[in-house]
Amino acid sequence: MVDVILGLQWGDEGKGKIVDYFAPQYDVVARFQGGPNAGHTLYVGGKKTVLHQIPSGIFHEDKVNLIGNGVVLDPVTLKRECDTVKSFGVDVKKNLFIAERTNLILPTHRALDKAAELAKGNEKIGSTLKGIGPAYMDKTGRNALRVGDLLDKNFTTQYIKLRLKHQKLLDSLNFSEDITAWEEEFFECIEFLRQLNIVNGEYFINDKISKGNKILAEGAQGSMLDVDFGTFPFVTSSSTISAGVCTGLGIAPQKIKEVIGITKAYCTRVGSGPFPTELNDEMGELLRKIGNEFGATTGRPRRCGWIDLVALRFACMINGVTQLVMTKTDVLDSFAELQACDQYLVNGKPENCVPFQMTRVAIDPVNKKIPGWQTDITSLKSHNELPEKLKSYISYINSALGVPVKYISNGPDREQIIETI
């Protein structure tokens, strides 16, 4: 049996904490897509840490953690993460496994990412410059090096061949970058990676399923950044939705049971691209300040706005979401009035659907005003203790989406989660 946890907005929904919370109920936690452009923030023993590629179940020593083939893996970032995890007393060589079909991010991918973003000028996508896009392009172009290739005696020859291809592309973009230091660190971390548990990921996880193990598939980024269904071209390069679990781990669709979608109680976005409910005013700045809305990977200020129920309905539909977790509910504690976008005006006409190309139309949110609860909920432990106005907010979202909000997060700590049903 496989359950899925994924974000329903533009990422940064707080997936790391939620996976960490649910992990004790599972035997295996597996990342199925994305790369070091993800930043999953957790608080372990009151200490903040951010994971970029390692599954968020790593701090539960009795759990197996798998990096799946749908991920693009940066060995340098992985080594740093492993060092951080080990500082908490966790033995990564015991409970971290990496699928041999996982594609590698090379130093030249980072250079290509930077060159491509500079070439776009004022039309930048807002890339994290981690080499994600170029790595996925090599995957679809059938040029990539994969983790399993590290065990081949000809790996260095393969690397040099691909590096020359990349250099030709960089030359064509008139881009020059000294990557000598990057390469030195890369090959040092390659040696570290070779010492980890490299497995045939699809057989590995299907064997666990056949033995009755419970699997939690962890996504990165968010549904509105999906390469097919997101706000193209301002998207990531992988399939961030539940369908990506099958291709990113090598499991069959009928193995998936619950799809747990995560949404903030409001909405944020890092980088460029459409954001219909964005607040470019004092209210947006207040949300950013109270919610400490800065990117876990980049540190960039997040754009903030009210919850977008049109986009959330779309995300629930394409993912087959069965239950919701609403995070950062406590950020709204001090607001006398909230708003929720339940419809768009697209070129002046009412619409309940996400448009094909948001950048080609004028979108104005139609917002419903909702009373705030103006109560500190951070110390509350049960649904019965919640303010009635917060219960009404939850009921409104349940009704608008047709999917139940089963949990809310009322603070950053692992224990600050309340079951609402």
Q: Are strands 405-409 and 417-419 parallel, antiparallel or unpaired?
A: antiparallel
Tokens representing 75 are 């060995």
Q: Are strands 215-218 and 307-308 parallel, antiparallel or unpaired?
A: unpaired
287 Cβ contact partners less than 8 Å away, ≥ 6 residues apart: 266, 268, 279, 293, 304, 305, 331
Tokens representing 412 are 């950053």
Which sign does the torsion angle of CA 138, 234, 75, 166 carry?
Answer: positive
Rg (CA), the chain: 21
333 catalytically annotated = no
DSSP 3-state of 259:
strand
| Residue 405, amino acid | V
Q: What is the rounded CA–CA span in Å between residue 307 and residue 310? A: 9
Q: Which of 40, 52, 109, 166 is catalytic?
A: 40
Q: Which of 12, 226, 308, 330 is catalytic?
A: 12
Closest Cα partner for 228 from 240, 220, 219?
240
Helices (H), 242-308: 243-249, 282-291
199-217-204 Cα angle (round to 5): 25
Q: What is the rounded CA–CA span in Å between residue 405 and residue 393? A: 10
* Percentages (nearest 5) of helix, strand, coil residues in the chain: 40, 25, 40
Tokens representing 90 are 């966790």
DSSP 3-state of 307:
strand
41 Cβ contact partners less than 8 Å away, ≥ 6 residues apart: 14, 16, 17, 48, 49, 50, 296, 412
Closest Cα partner for 23 from 66, 87, 76, 79?
66
40 catalytically annotated = yes
By residue count, the chain amounts to: 421
Burial zone of 171 (CB within 10 Å; 0-12 exposed, 13-18 middle, 19+ buried): exposed
Helices (H), 173-216: 180-194, 201-210
What counts of helices (H) and strands (E) characterise the chain? 12, 20
Catalytically active residues, by annotation: 12, 40
